[in-house]
Structure 1
Amino acid sequence: MRTTHKLVHTMRRKGYPRMAHDMKKIEDCAQLISGTSAKDSIRNDVIARVLGSECCGRVRGLGFGATPSKVDAQIQSNGRVRELESQLQTQSERMEALEEKVEALLKLSQ
């Protein structure tokens, strides 16, 4: 039915067949870029690739007041927080291992 239409849907809301088609494309594209850095960029994410870029100064799906710079800053800070948490986890594991070694040495020296 979609292929027989000569004119595109001109209203703001897409019809269900077009929306389902776009969602399928989004799922396929998400699988392709899952391991790349594009998933962390709002300007080059899956939705922007499939549906096109949003109007200047807007972010699709986040409502009023969200700007690309604010969202990018939030994404960057969340990534940094995750990186620091993983570093903290590895350091705490190292500390636990060192504490066990110190306890073992203290037992041997007594």
Structure 2
Amino acid sequence: MTRAAALLKLNNVESMEEWQAFVKERNSRSYKEKNERFKKMRASQTKLYTTRRKGFTCLEAEMRAESEDPDSITRDDVYIRGHTRKNGEPINESVGETLNKIKAYSETVFSPSKHSLEGDGGAKVFGPKRPGRVRGLGFGATPSKLNALVHNHNLQTKSKS
């Protein structure tokens, strides 16, 4: 191992052997091939988002906490906020076009159900999704769980009437 690599050793790496193994792995052919493959995958992505590690579920909770009317927050609102910069501009041109389509659809619908899988702008703009997945509700959300939520919501609404 070169002296330069030894000088670059990070303070949180406990032993020089561990650091040498790390440097060796990062300089290996298989790691470099994998790294290039992931760079190409990242470059091909067009619908970039700005939530960083927060994710859409935490973003929605944050938006509801900030809002005077938390029930007015829709999945479209969360998607739009997650794909715009702090100044309100979209990340790139492709995202801007998509957001404009979602906004246009949202303006034409008078009372979209926040529990509907087909009733929001994202569902209309992106079209059919993979079975068993629900866009914009975070990890673990499935159509059957959402349908159970809607059913319980409807039962509670009817019992109050």
TM-score, normalized by length of structure 1?
Answer: 0.53
Contact 2:134-2:143 within 8 A present in 1 as well = yes
Structure 2 residue 60 is the aligned partner of structure 1 residue 26: no
**Aligned position for 1:35:** 111
What is the aligned length? 77
Letter in 2 for 1:16: N
Q: Residues 36-95 of structure 1: CA distance to partner in whole angstroms, max 9, x if unpaired?
A: 6x664213432110122221111112222111111122123223323433x1xxxxxxxx
The match for 2:93 among 17, 23, 44 is 17
Q: Which runs of 5+ in 2 are unaligned?
A: 1-42, 49-90
- Residue in 2 aligned with 1:55? 130
Share of identical aligned residues, percent?
30
Residue pair 1:58, 1:68 contacting (<8 A) in 2 also: yes
The residue aligned with 1:91 is none
Where structure 1 has 5 or more consecutive residues not aligned to the other structure, the ranges are 1-8, 88-110
Higher-RCO chain (CA-CA 8 Å, sequence separation at least 6) = 2
| Corresponding residue for residue 96 of structure 1 | none
Larger Rg belongs to: 1
TM-score by length of 2: 0.39
Q: Structure 1 residues 77, 11: CA separation in 2 closer, same or farther (over 3 Å shift)?
A: same
Shift of 1:12: 5.9
Cα distance change on mapping 1:13 and 1:46 into 2, 3 Å? closer
CA deviation string 1:2-48 (max 9, x = no partner): xxxxxxx8326445222122112112211222236x66421343211
Contact 1:57 1:68 in 2 (8 A): yes
Counterpart residue number, 1:81: 156
Report the secondary structure of 1:66's partner residue: coil
* Equivalent position amino acid for 1:10 in 2: S
Q: Residue 69 of structure 1 corresponds to which residue in structure 2? A: 144
Q: Distance in 2 between matches of 1:27 and 1:34?
A: 13
